[in-house]
Amino acid sequence: MDFDSDGVRLHYEVNGSERGNPIVLVHGFASDYRLNWVGTRWQETLTNAGFKVIGLDCRGHGHSDKPHEEAAYAVDLMAGDVVRLLDHLDVKAAAYLGYSMGGRIGLEVVLDHPGRITRAVLGGVGAAGAIDRADQIARAFRTGEPTDDPVAQTFYRFASARPDNDLVALAACISGLRPEPRPERLARISTPILIVVGDRDDIARGAPALIELIPSARLVTVAGRDHMSAVPAREFKQAALDFLSADV
């Protein structure tokens, strides 16, 4: 299904019980809803737990429109996409699950629209991340050549392996999506937040430092997992279900 989000056509799915507690799932950079959350059995896990799962393909990704302008990917616009999806579905408030880029977007939703998110699980985020390598990643995507930067190499291999990806749009996305580092904003967050990272995640660095900036956040570390392999981890799913159970 599609909807119009401030002039951009975005694709979404709804699965699970119509009467279940709603949860919005937002994927990572260069991924999409199905790759991030269906193939890894997150959708199955959450629908079996009784949730109504709302899955979004972010602008620039999946079956959604893919603008080539950096300005189209400002973090407040991408956070607004989540809120406009909730409005489209007439959902007043929902839980949130985001990974990597989806985690960054989730923080912005909580900051800009705190009443719309009941609690948030943010995976693969830390005080630093891929956004700090945006220039190198964008250069690799635009030139079709991986750089010497290992993070840029990882994302280039991941994105270029999927023929449906528009690398020009993804370069614009990583360049445009630059949250302003303002610790005083994070200090005002009261929404319950669970941050989950793999202990071998070299992309989402400094998760303990991020936790220190958010009074309502706590951290779970998944042993033996890196940025890509943490997503399907059983420990991640169980930690999320335990955390979300307060709303069930």
Query: Mind listing the pLDDT tens digit for each residue in 98-143?
Result: 999 999 999 999 999 999 999 999 999 998 788 788 999 999 999 9
pTM value is: 0.96
Q: Which residues contact 148 (CB under 8 A, 6 or more apart)?
A: none
Domain contains 99: yes
Structural domain count, the chain: 1
Evaluate whether residue 114 is within a structural domain.
yes
The predicted model gives 45-73 an average pLDDT of 98
Q: Is residue 79 part of a domain?
A: yes
Task: Write the pLDDT tens digit of every residue in 179-237.
Answer: 776 889 999 999 999 999 999 999 998 999 999 999 999 999 999 999 999 999 999 99
pLDDT at 52 over 80: yes
Q: Give the pLDDT band (50/70/90) at residue 26.
A: very high
In a domain, 60, yes or no: yes
110 belongs to a structural domain: yes
CATH number at residue 210: 3.40.50.1820
- At residue 248, does pLDDT exceed 60? no
Euclidean distance between CA atoms 243 and 5, whole angstroms:
30
Q: Where are the alpha helices (DSSP H) in the chain?
A: 33, 42-48, 75-88, 101-112, 134-143, 150-160, 167-176, 183-186, 207-213, 234-244
Position 210 scores a pLDDT of 94
Residue 80 forms part of a structural domain: yes
Question: Is position 158 within any domain?
Answer: no
The confidence score (pLDDT) of residue 94 equals: 98
Total Cβ atoms within 10 A of residue 157: 11
Q: Which two tokens stand for residue 225?
A: 């997992």
Q: Name the residue range of residue 242's domain.
A: 2-126+182-247
Domain for residue 91, yes or no?
A: yes
